[in-house]
Chain A
Amino acid sequence: MRAREKYPLLNSFLEGWSIFRQNLLGRIGLVLLIMFALMAICSYIPPWINPMYNPMTGVDPLITSCTPPSWAHWLGTDFMGRDILSQLLAGARVAFMVGISAAVMSIVLGVAIGMTAGYMGRFVDTLLMRLADMIMVMPTLLVVLILSAVFGQLNIWTIVLIIALFRWPGVSRIIRGQTLSLKQRPFIEAAKVAGASHFRIIFQHIMPNVLPLAFLFMTFRVTSAIITEAALAFLGFGDPGTVSWGMMLQWVWKTGHMFKAPYWLLPPGICISLITLSFYMLGRAMDEVLDPRLRKEDQTD
Chain B
Amino acid sequence: MELRKFIFRRLVQIVIIFFVILTVLFLLFRLAPGDPVSRMVDPDMTPEDAHRLVVQLGLDKPLGVQYLIYLKNFVTGHFGFSFHYGEPVVHIIWNRLPNTILLFTTSIILSALVGVFLGKIASWHKGKKTDSVMTIGALVTHTLFLPWLALIMIWVFAYKFSWFPINGMISEEVWLDPDSGLIAKSLDVMYHMVLPLSTLFLIHFGAYLLIMRSSMLETLKEDYILTARAKGLEERTIRDRHAAPNAALPVVTSVGLSLAFSINGGALTETVFTWPGIGRELVFSVSQNDYPLAQASFLLIAAVVLVSNLVVDVLYAYLDPRIRY
A binds B: yes
Residue of A nearest to B210 (CB): A284
**Residues of B close to A281: CB separation below 8 A:** 139
**Contact-residue bracket for chain A:** 35 or more
Cβ of B165 to closest chain A Cβ, rounded Å: 14
> A118-154, CB under 8 A of B: which get 1 and which 0?
0000000000001000101111111101111111100
Residue of B nearest to A143 (CB): B298
**What is the interface size of chain B, counting residues whose CB is below 8 A from a CB of the partner?**
48
**A130 pairs with B13, CB closer than 8 A:** yes
**B145 pairs with A235, CB closer than 8 A:** no
Main SS at interface, chain A: helix
**B145 pairs with A149, CB closer than 8 A:** no
**Residues of B close to A79: CB separation below 8 A:** none
Name the segment of B25-33, B42-50, B242-250 touching the other chain: B25-33
Give the CA-CA distance A139 to B300 in the complex, in Å. Answer: 12
**A142 pairs with B151, CB closer than 8 A:** no
Asked if B264 is an interface residue, CB under 8 A from chain A, the answer is: yes
**Residues of B close to A258: CB separation below 8 A:** 151, 154-155
**A137 pairs with B259, CB closer than 8 A:** yes
Asked if B228 is an interface residue, CB under 8 A from chain A, the answer is: no
Name the segment of A39-47, A85-93, A270-278 touching the other chain: A270-278
Give the CA-CA distance A203 to B29 in the complex, in Å. Answer: 38
Question: Contacts A146-B28, A150-B32: A231 and B147 contacting too (C-beta < 8 A)?
Answer: yes
Give the CA-CA distance A56 to B295 in the complex, in Å. Answer: 34
**Residues of A close to B28: CB separation below 8 A:** 146-147, 150
**Residues of A close to B148: CB separation below 8 A:** 249, 265, 268-269, 272-273
Give the CA-CA distance A209 to B98 in the complex, in Å. Answer: 51
Asked if A215 is an interface residue, CB under 8 A from chain B, the answer is: no
**Residues of B close to A150: CB separation below 8 A:** 28-29, 32, 34
Question: Contacts A138-B305, A139-B264: A146 and B143 contacting too (C-beta < 8 A)?
Answer: no
Cβ of A288 to closest chain B Cβ, rounded Å: 12
**B155 pairs with A137, CB closer than 8 A:** no
A-B pairs with CB below 8 Å: how many? 119
Question: Contacts A137-B306, A269-B152, A277-B140: A149 and B286 contacting too (C-beta < 8 A)?
Answer: yes
A228-264, CB < 8 A from B: 228, 230-231, 234-237, 249, 252-253, 258-259, 262
A12-34, CB < 8 A from B: none
The listed residue with most A CB atoms (<10 A of its CB), out of B17, B34, B145, B261, is B145
The listed residue with most B CB atoms (<10 A of its CB), out of A136, A262, A273, is A273
Give the CA-CA distance A140 to B302 in the complex, in Å. Answer: 11
Contact of B151 among A137, A152, A253 (CB under 8 A): A253
Cβ of B71 to closest chain A Cβ, rounded Å: 19
Give the CA-CA distance A143 to B295 in the complex, in Å. Answer: 11
Q: List 28 A-B contacts (CB under 8 A).
A: A138-B260, A138-B305, A139-B260, A139-B267, A140-B260, A142-B264, A145-B286, A146-B25, A146-B294, A149-B285, A149-B294, A150-B29, A152-B32, A227-B145, A231-B264, A237-B287, A249-B151, A258-B154, A262-B155, A265-B151, A268-B148, A269-B149, A269-B152, A273-B148, A274-B143, A280-B142, A280-B143, A281-B139
| 9 closest Cβ pairs, A-B complex | A269-B148, A149-B286, A141-B264, A150-B32, A272-B145, A276-B143, A277-B143, A139-B260, A139-B263
The interface of chain A, by Cβ under 8 A from chain B, is 130, 134, 136-143, 145-152, 223, 227-228, 230-231, 234-237, 249, 252-253, 258-259, 262, 265, 268-269, 272-274, 276-277, 280-281
The interface of chain B, by Cβ under 8 A from chain A, is 13, 17, 20, 25, 28-29, 32-34, 139-140, 142-149, 151-152, 154-155, 159, 259-261, 263-264, 267-268, 271-272, 282-283, 285-287, 289, 291, 294-295, 298, 301-302, 305-306, 309
